[in-house]
Structure formats: structure tokens, C-alpha cells
A and B are shown apart, each in its own frame.
Chain A
Amino acid sequence: MGETVTMDPPTMQPPSAGFDALYRSCVGDLFAYVRTMLRDDSVAEDVTALAFERAFRRRDRYDAARGTERAWLFGIARNAALDELRKRGRTTPLEHDVAGETPIGDPVAHVERAARRAEIRAAMERLSARDRELIALKFFAGLDNAELAEVLGVSESNAGTKLHRAMTKLRSACDVTA
């Protein structure tokens, strides 16, 4: 991470190895982030695909001097997700299907883990959308604070402050839920 993508012209050509590597390393994290923002699986899939497509077509505009390619990609995804939120003007409740999870190993431990995940999801639900986004970018996508700042368009110190505030709220929410 942090190295530039091999640039190839923005035509209908197979992606370069650099873009393919970026895609492989980010697709899961990006979907998790977009899904957390939009809280709709179907729309999250569309926005995730759209973000990668935009990144693919604009890959010649990526400037390594302005940040990592990972932050650049998440910035594109953020704009697409915000456009979608604005277009809908509404949100759907957080949905995450846990019924289909198959117990593996100790059933009691599995139930306990499922209960804990439910607590976390409930705590996340109590957070504001901005705090939820910060948690997703940090915990799901694993962005460092510099990347976080680039995605959000704020300074690094401001990003750290916002993140700590969101994390504190999440811990409080988890304690309340527990």
C-alpha cells in the first residue's frame, strides 16, 4: 500500500496489475464501509461497483503526492455514497442477516459471539452517521489517520480528534448496550 498504481490509459482495456492489486486489497473493506454508510446491501453493492469503475476510469488522475491510492479510492467511494444518500433523502435501518450464520465449534461460544456482535451493531446504530463513518473507515477499512484525513477532507489532527470522539461514543454505547 502506498505505491502508485501502474498507469494505463483510461480505455476499455483489462486493468493493469496495479489496479487489480488495489481492487483485491480493498474490495471487502470498501464494501463494508459503503454498506455501513448506506445500510442497504443492494445499494451498497451498486455503489461499491460504481466506485471501482470510477477509480478505474480516473486512474490516470491519481497523484501519489496527494495521498495513498487506498485513501483516493475511499474518497471516490465516499462521494458516491454521499450522492446516493442525498438522492434517496432517506435511509433504511441497519440490516445484517445473522440468521444464516452456521454454528462452528462450540455452540455456546457461538451464541455468545453472536450476542456480542448484536450488541456492537446496536451500539453502532446509536451513533450518528458521521461517527459511524469514522468507525467504518478505521475499524473496517483500517485507514491510518493521514488517510482518514484525506478521505474526510480535514487535517490529520482534526481527523484524530474526531476519531477518538467517535471511538469514545462507541465504547459508551457498547457499555450501555451490555
Chain B
Amino acid sequence: MSLRRNRLDDTAVAELDALDAALRGDDVAPEHADLAALVTDVRETAPQATPAFLAELDARVREGFPPRDEAPAAAPRPKRPRRRLLFGGGAIAVSAAIAVAVVGIVGNGDDPRTDSGFERFSTSESAPPAALESAPAPDAAAGAVAPSPVPPADEDAAESRQQRSVERSASLDLTVPADEVQSTADAVVRTTDRVDGIVQTSSINVGKGTPGEARFELRVPSAKLDDALAAYSKLGSVANRTQDAQDITGTVVSAEDRLSDARAERRGLLRALGQADTRREVESLRARLRIVRQDIARAEAQLRQARTRADLATVAVTVRGDGGKTTGSADDDSGWSVGDAAGDAGRLLEVVAGALIVGAAAILPLLALALGGAALARVLVRRRRERGLDAA
């Protein structure tokens, strides 16, 4: 009754209550006597089924509605499966298109698999775009630059300008069983010696209760960098490998030019010194020569440093012990313990849960659309049916 009061005034509510009472055969208030009379009058006009029809229907009900030979005159219009199928198919197609679009948008967005975090677990070689544009292929560059710690003569400068100087660097993360960190670190040093490289810095942390870790800063000849990386990679499981190449030709050429200019100036000063007539002029030229010699030394050092950068690649190698494994556990399956089983089971559950979440994310929008489509279909069917009522 409270709902009814939301839309009807008190008089209307009282009349509906009186109507219900009259239909039940109860007494009604005097002011609603006309309504009770109306109920009586209207009910008297109720169409009555014929006894013949009722007898036939009684018999059918008793027999459980056996199929009749003749189709009833008022048999309902056959259902329209095609239209329903079309409607349902259309809804599913729209749902699928929306789902694909959503997945596509999500896929093009912040997909964690495209993050650098994922890349690090795959071998990758990267270089700054600017460096790659100007730098030749690493192998070619390394081959073109021969190790030459001694600055060339001035006449060699023009020739060296035809070559590109490329500074190469690499980093490599290796994972080994915890009890193999020390031996792997030793192997790193041996490999470096074999390729004529040098160990610039190293630190090894191995002890009980820790997985162990060794870090190396190495310099290896650029020409042998690939061989060295291949050898290092065989020492353990590669967790991360990156390579970088940077064109430093400009730095090398600039140092060469400064050195060439300084040497030319020294030659000029020496010639002037040979022709000097006065003591004061000689002293002035010698002072100037000292300055130029310092300039030459500085330029030679800069050139040597630049060429060293091109000749020797920097390699950072990290060896990490895998805390959950030892040599025995890695090689011997019989060491699989209850803890390992629990860990595996946990990982399996994580994978299954992830798959379920992804599946739900794909299915739920489709389900929502399907439910919405079904509700809409019900409304449309009802309205279509009731159109016949409007025409009556």
C-alpha cells in the first residue's frame, strides 16, 4: 500500500481498497456503495465458457494434453528463431568487437611486457638512437680501429679522419648456483686475460647464508668484445645482457687537431729561435716553447684517452648466486623437496589465478552486454506483443 500511496491520492487509495473488499465479498463503506454495485454489475457481464468447451478442456487436462490431430485455430504464431538468432548474433558480434577494441587499447597502453623490466630478462642490444645513426656496425667499427696507444704523426691525422671511432660498452648479469660464485668469478678473470683485457675493478662477496655476488669492471679490446661476451655468457645463466655503442669520432678528431696545431706552432717557434738575434728575443721564444710543449702533452694525453676509449670496451659483469639452488639441487632432481613442491604449487596457482583474471576481464564485458541485450530483447518483444493490444 505504501507504493500505491506514492502515486495515488487518498481518495483513490480508498477506492481501490473498497474495490478489493467488494471483490472479496466484504462489506464496503457507504460512500463506496456505488463501487460495490459496479463490481456486481461488471462481474455479471463476465463472459462464460460454454459447458461443451469446459467438458472438452476438462478431458484434455485429465489426459495431460495429448497432441491433437488438428492444429488449434488460435495456435500461436510460430516463434521466429531467425530473428532471435540474428539479434543474438548481432549482440555477440558487437560485444566481441568492443572486447577486441578494449583489448587492443589496453594492449597498446601500459603493457607491462613492453616495459624495460621485461626486456632485461631477454638478451638485448641497445644503443642511443643518435649514436646508432652515426655509428657503423659494432663489429665493423671495432675492426676499423686498431689499438694504437701512441699518437700518430701529424701526417697520420688525415688518414685517421677517414675512420670512425666507436666507444663500446656492455653489461652482463649471470646467475649461477650459490656455491659456484667464486669459481665463476675466477673464470671471468681468466677469460679477460685470454682476450688481452684487464680487470679494472672487482669485488666478490661469498659467504655462508648469502647467495653470493661478484662484480667486475673490465676493459677488453673492442675488436674482441663479441668473443669475450660469448665466453662470459657460457659461464652461467644470462639474466641480462646489454650492449651500447657510441660514436666518439668527433672527440678523437678534435684531440688530433689540437695536437697537430700545437706541434706546428712548436716547429715555427723552433725556426724562429734559430733566427733569433737578441737575448731577450731568445728568452721570449723559449718561454713560449715551454707553454707549447705543455699544450702538446695535454693534447697527446687527450688523444690517447680518446683512442683508449675506442680501443678498449668497458664491460660490467655481475655474477649472482641463486639462493634457492646449489649445484646439487640444480643437477639432481632427486633433491626436489617438499619446500620445492610448495613453491612450484604456489607458482602454478599464481599462473592459474592470472589466467582466470585475464579470462574474467575478457568475458565479463561480453556477459554484461549479453545480459543487456537480453533485457532489451525482452522489452522489445513485450512492446511488439502489446502493439496488438493497441490495435484492438
Chain A residues engaging chain B, CB cutoff 8 angstroms:
11-15, 19-20, 23, 27-29, 31-32, 35-37, 39, 41-50, 52-53, 56-57, 79-80, 82-91, 96, 113, 116-117, 120-121, 124, 129-130, 133, 135, 138-140, 142, 144-145, 153, 155-158, 160-161, 163-164, 167, 170-171, 174
CB proximity of A96 to chain B, nearest CB, Å: 6
Would you mind naming 11 contact pairs between A and B with Cβ atoms under 8 Å apart? A12-B66, A28-B49, A29-B46, A50-B76, A53-B60, A83-B385, A86-B385, A117-B44, A129-B389, A158-B7, A174-B41
Q: Which residues of B contact A113 (CB under 8 A)?
A: 44
CB distance A129 to B392 under 8 Å?
yes
> Which of B16-24, B164-172, B303-311 lies at the interface with chain A?
B16-24
CB distance A82 to B64 under 8 Å?
no
CA of A36 to CA of B42, assembled, Å: 12
- Complex: chain A residue closest to B73, CB-CB: A46
Q: Which residues of B contact A48 (CB under 8 A)?
A: 49, 53, 57
CA of A170 to CA of B108, assembled, Å: 65
CB proximity of B65 to chain A, nearest CB, Å: 5
CB distance A79 to B7 under 8 Å?
no
CA of A133 to CA of B6, assembled, Å: 24
Q: Which residues of A contact B64 (CB under 8 A)?
A: 11-15, 56
CB proximity of A147 to chain B, nearest CB, Å: 12
- Complex: chain B residue closest to A165, CB-CB: B12
B234 at the interface (CB under 8 A from A): no
B39 at the interface (CB under 8 A from A): yes
CB distance A160 to B385 under 8 Å?
no
CB distance A120 to B41 under 8 Å?
yes
Q: Which residues of A contact B6 (CB under 8 A)?
A: 157
Question: Given A153-B382, A164-B12 in contact, is the A83-B77 Cβ separation under 8 Å?
Answer: yes
Chain A contact residues: helix, strand, loop or mixed:
helix
B388 at the interface (CB under 8 A from A): yes
- Complex: chain B residue closest to A53, CB-CB: B65
The 8 closest A-B pairs by CB, nearest first: A46-B74, A85-B388, A86-B388, A129-B392, A35-B47, A157-B3, A82-B385, A31-B49
Other A-B pairs, 17, CB within 8 Å; known A129-B392, A138-B19: A12-B66, A15-B61, A15-B64, A27-B49, A27-B54, A31-B53, A32-B48, A49-B57, A89-B391, A120-B42, A139-B42, A140-B42, A140-B43, A156-B3, A157-B4, A161-B4, A174-B38
Question: Given A12-B66, A139-B46, A153-B382 in contact, is the A86-B73 Cβ separation under 8 Å?
Answer: no
CA of A42 to CA of B44, assembled, Å: 21
Chain B residues engaging chain A, CB cutoff 8 angstroms:
3-4, 6-8, 12, 15-16, 19-20, 23, 34, 38-39, 41-50, 53-54, 56-57, 60-66, 72-77, 382, 384-392
Chain B contact residues: helix, strand, loop or mixed:
helix
- A116 touches which one: B23, B41, B66, B385 (CB < 8 A)? B41
Q: Which residues of B contact A163 (CB under 8 A)?
A: 16
- Complex: chain A residue closest to B382, CB-CB: A153
Q: Which residues of A contact B57 (CB under 8 A)?
A: 27, 48-49, 52
CB proximity of B61 to chain A, nearest CB, Å: 5
Q: Which residues of B contact A12 (CB under 8 A)?
A: 64-66
Q: Which residues of B contact A50 (CB under 8 A)?
A: 72, 74-76
Most chain A CB neighbours (cut-off 10 Å) among B15, B41, B384: B41
CA of A135 to CA of B386, assembled, Å: 17
Q: Which residues of A contact B77 (CB under 8 A)?
A: 83, 86-87
CB distance A142 to B47 under 8 Å?
no
CB distance B390 to A42 under 8 Å?
no
CA of A11 to CA of B62, assembled, Å: 13
CB distance A31 to B76 under 8 Å?
no
CB distance B45 to A121 under 8 Å?
yes
CB distance B42 to A135 under 8 Å?
yes
Q: Which residues of A contact B54 (CB under 8 A)?
A: 27
CA of A175 to CA of B386, assembled, Å: 29
Most chain A CB neighbours (cut-off 10 Å) among B45, B64, B74: B74
Q: Which residues of B contact A29 (CB under 8 A)?
A: 46
